[in-house]
Structure 1
Amino acid sequence: MLEVHQRMQAKTARDKAITMLEQVRIPDAARRFHSYPHELSGGMRQRVMIAMALLCEPQLLIADEPTTALDVTVQSEILALLRDIRACRAMAIVLITHDLPLAGGLCDQIAVMRHGEVVESGATASIFQQPRHPYTRELLAARR
């Protein structure tokens, strides 16, 4: 990807990829660079995907269900990583999830969709404290 999109030489691209793996908290990144997906845990695979998305330095990261199928501890680590990435890179993140409490831990603004239509949107605190739409209230009640 770096060789094509950034026109980097192979060694430079490899070094940048390993540095990015380190930044997303992959232990022993230089060795893991050569690992196959089945040799990585679910959390490590997710970190690799985040690293790949960040390599070309986008201004916006779209994270579609980034913690699905991860245990609660790894889920928390991935959310902390996304918060750090957002702060360090001053970038925007669009989080797509069915888990409103998860979104509440990361997002400043929330848009609740049902059947492809936005039924409610606003500041996260407002949505959680005073949900207006019945569907939003259902989603919040289901997680209590």
Structure 2
Amino acid sequence: MTDPLEAVRVCASDELVDGGAGVRREATFDGGDAIVFFVRYDGVAYGYLNRCAHVPMELDWNEGQFFESSGLYLMCATHGAIYAPDTGKCVGGPCRGGRLRPVRVDERDTPEGRAVFWLPDADLRPLSV
């Protein structure tokens, strides 16, 4: 019954580099404060709730640093849980079989150039909405 939430511009596409730093955004998840993040892997932009499947703590080592040293996996700084960046599935560590909560992402051309957009849903939306 509610109108769909509008897409939110996250960043210019070239700000996300394969295996590089991610972009964080404030959000609400099930009514509480949260952070979502966006990264690029194998040429595709992905987004996830910044909450480990093992213990609900943020993943990043330093702000925006989600990939482990090889740039092939996302890694939780607290307990070392390792996630496949393209699926969010835990592939190693204490959360084996769990997965990150995905955020819908769309990459499109804009008058300012190609950009990454977050497509919010009813449970996970930008803090300002």
Q: Which has the higher contact order (CA 8 A, sep 6+)?
A: 2
Structure with greater strand share of residues: 2
Instruction: Verify same fold: TM over 0.5.
Output: no
TM-score, scaled to structure 1 = 0.26
TM-score, scaled to structure 2 = 0.28
Structure with greater helix share of residues: 1
